[in-house]
Amino acid sequence: MSEVTQSVTQLVDAFARLPGIGRKSAERLAYHILRTNKAEALGLADAIRQVKENVRYCRVCYNLAEGEECGICRDVKRDRTLLCVVEQPRDLLALEQAGTFRGLYHVLLGRIAPLEGVGPEQLTIEALVSRVRGGGFREIIMGTNPTIEGDGTSLHISNLLAGLPVEITRLARGITTGSVLEFANKEILADALAGRQKF
Ligand SMILES: [Zn+2]
């Protein structure tokens, strides 16, 4: 790669920083972009720009949104007494694709992971507690991943919510412990929701 131009090197470096992309793959992608027609390549650049300029976190639930609030929070047909707590927007998406949950969500934007230096204050837990304190919910469903860290996060939150007049439940364990929601299939997620149990 010693004879490539600076622009190409920059592109390879940028690809190589993406998760799961090694140096060889980054070079392959860069050369693919060089060969591809201009409209297509600039379309990719535009899509990245649009996502960075237009997409932000919903000010209510921290799902991805274009505008102040996400489509789910704005949807008047959702059941506003049910709240499902998930780790990431992609977990929310997996549950939405299962198609059975009609309540609202709260996205934590991570999980408590002491070994990685992630404490409760780095998540949206405070916003969650004040949201629940605001009233109107009858059930909070813990939809964190069935991992040690996901379970620990749910436990922490349920302790914070103890004493508030809401029922706290968690997804049934049709989901194998240690697996993650985003890779579970629709049927398993629908079952996990239907069979949820008291926390
Ligand atoms: Zn929202």
pLDDT along the chain (199 residues), means of 10: 81 96 96 96 96 95 96 96 97 92 97 94 97 95 93 95 94 67 75 80
Distance 34 CA to ligand 1 centre (A): 39
Q: What distance lies between CA 139 and its chain's CA centroid?
A: 21
CB atoms within 10 A of CB 117: 7
Greatest Cα pair distance, the chain, in angstroms, is 67
* Residue 62 CA, ligand 1 centroid: distance in Å: 6
Distance 108 CA to ligand 1 centre (A): 12
Kindly tell me the burial class for residue 123, based on how many C-beta atoms sit within 10 Å of its own C-beta (0-12, 13-18, 19 or more): buried
Q: What pLDDT, on a 0 to 100 scale, did the predictor assign at position 179?
A: 65
Q: How far is the CA of 105 from the centre of ligand 1 (A)?
A: 7
pLDDT at 49: 95
114: which DSSP letter? G
Residue 48 in tokens: 């990245």
Tell me what pLDDT residue 195 has.
Answer: 76
| DSSP states of 12-45 | HHHHHTSTT--HHHHHHHHHHHHHS-HHHHHHHH
Query: pTM (2 decimals)?
Result: 0.78
Count of Cβ atoms closer than 10 Å to residue 183 Cβ? 11
